[in-house]
A = this chain, B = another copy of it.
């Protein structure tokens, strides 16, 4: 029951290079639109192959309020489904990971196989067609140990993204990873404010004293790292010598690039030392900087030699967003021996909480009767503009396909 004329009108008011009009940050109707038009229409970075590694494993999770389940069949193939029973719509698998030969709905025990086929529906009437009532599939792709899903009937093109990500990410060996830790944080702000925050470091110098110890905030601009200096050139030579690509690659909904940390630092930790002794990358040095790979509209990852950190923002209300973080390490790394969870997670935990405060303060100001869209910083907020451009493109395409006018 979306009023696309009204929403299209709002989209039409957007001013290039500026933050969005107020209603786009706090109206309940826009919130429902965003879920449908943006989250349900694009590729999302749902998780990692290691979370559903073997035949019969499943992983159930809720994306933008919508439950999905990923299964690994006996054929080793990963498949995805809307996690809603075709009988009366109950959630078939509880959120979380597990192992099952069949998926049985907890309500009336309709049974689906791992390919989504309905194999048993107790006592249904003659004329009922099981073949028409399998779990509805979603699009799934695995790339070098990362899982991407799209909930739309027709998914956007994926192959250029795969071609750009795979060579850079593969050496990080996520296929042999495990999730060493995972947590969530509630932010009382619109999801777009969370993502604008996550897409710039203009606030880092004062906002993130800990992150700035290792993160090269002075070098950020149109890409994550500026070449043409000795530090960068040494980094580039070193990683190339280890067969690691650099990028950068920018697509309509992704950014992929390897960049150097501040000199002498090996990982995104408080002290720049490794978080994990057991490396994930097979290289003759751990000094390979970080591979940042980000997927609009909700996520980014940093892959250093020792770990991959995953960040994903999911809207749960017009002014509430849940951020999920995961820390992936080599599956043979031993907690307490090769890594310490507290030490490994400290930097991103403090950084995320600092960002939460900034986002919530941003939301308060955006609610002002006096709020007007303001200009992005051309250099320091170029990734925010990418995010906003993606949001507006996606939203306008949705409206024009359905409402017959161009916002």
Contacts and interface: CB of A to CB of B under 8 A. Distances in A.
Most B CB contacts (10 A, CB to CB) among A6, A82, A88, A358 go to A88
Interface string A337-376: 0000000000000000000001001101111111111111
Interface in A72-108: 81-92, 94, 106-108
A219 interface: no
Given A107-B361, A128-B375, A377-B124, A138 B86 contact: no
Contacts of A89: 19, 362, 365-366, 368, 371, 373-374
B67 A368 contact: yes
Interface in A278-307: none
A402 B178 CA distance: 59
Nearest to A364: B91
For the residues of A in contact with B, the DSSP-based class is: loop
A170 interface: no
Nearest to A204: B108
B365 A138 contact: no
A151 B27 CA distance: 21
Contacts of A125: 377-379
A83 B362 CA distance: 11
Q: Which 4 A-B pairs have the closest CB atoms?
A: A82-B370, A91-B365, A84-B368, A125-B378
9 contacts: A40-B369, A82-B370, A85-B365, A90-B362, A106-B358, A108-B377, A124-B375, A133-B375, A136-B370
Interface of A: 1, 6, 10, 19, 23, 27, 29, 35-36, 40, 62, 64-68, 81-92, 94, 106-109, 122-125, 128, 133, 136, 138, 151, 196, 202-203, 206-207, 358, 361-362, 364-380
